[in-house]
Chains A and B, each alone.
Chain A
Amino acid sequence: MSAGAPARTHPDPTLTSLDIGHPVYAAILDPKTAFWALVDKGRVADTLAGGALRDAYRRHADACGRELHALRFELKPSGVYLNPTERCNLNCRYCYLPEAQRRSGGHMSADQLLASLGRLRDYFRSIMPQGRKARAIFHGAEPLMNRDAVFAAIEAFAGDFIFGVQTNGTLLDEAAVRFLTARNVSIGLSLDGPCADVTDATRRTWSGRSVHDRVLGAMSRLRGYDAWSVITTCTIENLPHLSAMVELFHAREVPTCMLNAVRCTLSGARAIRPDDRAMARAFFAALDRTHELYRESGRKLVVANFANILIAIRAPTARRLMCDISPCGAGRAFFALSADGSLYPCSEFIGLPRFDGGHLLADGGVEAALASDAFNAVSGRNVDTFSPCGECAIRHFCGSPCPAEAHEMGGRMGNTGAFCEFYREQVKYALRLIADGEADDYLWDGWDEGTETLFDLAH
């Protein structure tokens, strides 16, 4: 990881402006430290030239720079994504895992999964503050294809990890929901459409059968539980339906959703990739709809991937998702364990053998993987060092995701990901909400508990 010392802020920091499309406000930014301020559009030139805001920022610039440096280069892992099987019962068009693995790959045995978690527990105990548990998330392919092993592991290590399961939802029957909710396991589902026709365009079984109704059944079983979410992967197939999607989620009391632009790591995903502008239009219409629903009902549906950008602006260290920071969280805030026992920087890299960091149960284990060339290639991807990101004013709000996508699309790490313009528009939208005093409406209540105010400059 190329870190270097924290940047010492120049006594006269370099500020730049950004038109955020607001009738009154423009943004003033120091891209190096992720500092931002919103000023009257008529005063941008004066503010850049000097004055009270610049003087006030100068007093906090070093603290901002140190904080961002620590977030970007000084974290230790506190989470692991566990892939207990290579198999999936669905054949989604955009999956980042190779088809051969998903169709006929192997399970990790219960014994190996338990041994792996024991090794991981010991590793996390050695690096995490006492009393803080690591997160362990069972992840795709479809983890519930290997349900007995997964549930045995959750039972055996309940005191050592905060567990989560990301599942397609088709195997989440009553017994599974009872088991997982009784143990406070966080559960993520996936659904791509408000009706079967739309979901079926991207997510079906290998034989082509619809799974839409089965996922709705799982959502019904989870209603009233706090710790669950649904991911919608946004493609050309469902873009016109995103507002209807959030209406469905809100009606079914989904606490949190993600509306993710499809990851274009493998070619199947690129074939259904939406245009940035169309993506932004549909995404913002869906966000606006969540806000209307909140105003009507008093109940929020948090769109987590957007909420994370709002948080990245207001409290960079409080962000929950680690994709939108550079280096991203892969291979430094978390890593992934594949079903064959190999370690990868992130699940997105499973299926790309050059990013295999070695076997968890081999000598060296996690430490060897973190130091491997495979991991360093990812954790060393630094948005400051390649163009055009290195010159971009919002690079530390978006992080230029994702390294797997950038590498597979462009053949090297020093590329932007697939949705540069979409991210830029999200940041501008977020700053407009802040200008209008509405940002909290898009975040869960109490999002800033445990934070302190570093500065609040207003005049």
Chain B
Amino acid sequence: MDNTVNSAMLDPATGWSILALFSLVWIFLGWFWGRKARALDDFMLAGRNVGMALGVATAMATWVTSNTTMAAPQLALQLGIWGMVGYSLGSVGLMLFAPLARRIRHLMPFGYTSGDFVRLRYGKTAWRVFLLISLFYAFGWLISLGMAGGVLIHALTGIPYQYGMTVILSICVLYTLLGGLRAVIGTDFIQTIIILLGIGMLCWLAITRLGFDDIHSAVAESRPELLNLLMPAAIMFLFNNLLFGVGEIFHSNVWWSRAFAFRKGVGFSAYLTAGAMWIPIPIVAGFVALAVPALGLNVPAADMVGPMVAARLSGALGAVVVFIVVFSALASSLDSLLAATADLILQDIYRGHLRPAAGENELRVAAKLIILGLGLGAWLLCLPRLTTLAELLYFTGAFVSSTIWPIAAGLYWRRTNAAGATLAMLLGTGVGLYSYFAIGFYVAALSGAAVSMLTVIITTWLRPADFNWQTLRAETEAVA
């Protein structure tokens, strides 16, 4: 019997039907929630009044990307039990951001972007270095998500890559354009529920159809290293993944824009709860991969292990569930990234560098054009399906981890100085990139963060500044 599953698990007609149904729902909701958004704050930051339920769900959904649903099973198959647990440590970033979100809302109640903070706290040089890092990361993530969309839709349904990628990008651009952050956060809630129910159901199927004992004994017999609690590469991955996640969350405007958008007093609890509820998701998604030996599956591509197991366990229904979960996971991250990156370009490039005197109406039009331009740019870059572009995101570990200390210290230590923060970002990125090429991907974030930390601590100690926290509130209030 050939146990290799190479062909698509759903026929294209079913794939198109599911895509059409969900696309219509997201676009309608985007229009519905966005129809009353008149002011720029409404469009960019959902009126700055988002409550706890939507706050928790949007943080969870945005952090569950196609990587979580597809790469967690892949990592479980490659690195075993620590692959699952290591991936779940991505939640540490969300939980550590909880106090920062409260501090951000307190210091800058009228702020718009993470760039605002770096500009006001450290000045223009650090701001420009930060913008380069942040935009590089955002584009890397955007392209990797767009390409993942095309690849996954093709793998699951047989729909050609270009069509699938175009559909997922167009849908997200359209409803973000119609409803701004309100549409993003509203759809995130529904997408979170879908993702949780979907992966829970697949894990439940694996347990009831195969049982823990059969799954465990088959893995112990054919791949015992996956159950080894002392696998060195996996333990290294665990720490690197933790720091990569912290760096991604601390610097990215995706998370800052939510800190500004959440109602006063919600940020801390929302991020903490989202982090706690995110912990088990990669474990549940990853466990499904451990069923591979018990099912006797041959896996041609490690990142397709989740859908393959689902299809084997429950046939077409499993494949439909996986497709809906993956589509939801992709959309929930893509829309957030589009909205937050558009905010960053609007506030820090357009208003910050090109049109400082732009009025609210001009900015609203510019915000929409930027979302459209971002979608178009991502589509053009994703079209040739260059795998080197998809790998761009892996490089960014070195970049983002170098921002952890300048951001955290900048929010809490008034003595941290601008030159030290700039140097920390540059040195951390440089050393992180060197480690990436000289040693391996699993140390890039680790070394970048370490060098950045040392630089911030030493420069703060050698040349202490005396920053006035009131500057942040006063300056952002004046702009708002």
Same complex for A and B? Answer no
Q: Which residues of B contact A (CB under 8 A)?
A: none
